[in-house]
Amino acid sequence: MVQLIGLTIGIFITTNLDDLVMLLLLNEEVINRRLKLRELMYGQILGILIIGLISWLISLGVSHFVPGLTRWLGIFPLLIGLRMLINNIRSTTNEQTLRGQTSGWRNILAITALTLAGSADNLAVYIPVFQRETSQAVAAIVLMFIPLTVGWILLSVLIARIPPIKWALARYTDKLVPVIFMLLGGWILLDM
């Protein structure tokens, strides 16, 4: 169980570093009262649960129909990391924030959509990891994502109040995340 908790925390942090930057930017919307913190939490949790469910369903299909393919799914985080690195070299910053005054379910759905839009990395990591686990372990991992998501949001709230840290994360996360994905892809390719 300790190993499963460690795995869950590791894949959550790895696949959600980019979300931390998004959450920092969305905290500005909370501060400006265009978004409520609970809307941010509900939308992010809903998005993470959907990503977990989709990853699990795809992993079942892949392992059932093409069992030898599992190892090669590690190529996806490797390629995503490489693409992110190339994009970072080519462009400067890409900020996504909510515009205008909306409320309630619209904000929750907008946050869910933002979470899903940035989920290619999550899928690329979760699918091969979920293939190696039992259905009970996958359910436990996805359920552990809920408190981790809440903690991630609360961490972003704390960080958003510290200007130098916010600046450093916004500046260097783009450089760190691609390297992490490439390392994770290599691990999946070599470890399976």
13 Cβ neighbours under 8 A, 6+ residues apart: none
| This prediction's pTM | 0.69
For the record, the structure tokens of 134 come out as: 């039992």
Structural domain boundaries enclosing 30: 2-191
Number of domains comprising the chain: 1
Looking up tokens 């992993």 gives 59
pLDDT in tens, 66-77: 655 555 656 766
Of residues 176, 80, 174, the one with CA closest to residue 127: 80
Distance between CA atoms of 19 and 29, rounded to whole angstroms?
Answer: 15
User: pLDDT of 97-134, one tens digit each?
Assistant: 444 445 688 889 888 887 887 777 888 889 889 988 99
30-45, pLDDT tens digit by residue?
766 778 999 999 999 9
Mutual orientation of helices 163-191 and 120-131 as an angle, nearest 10°?
40
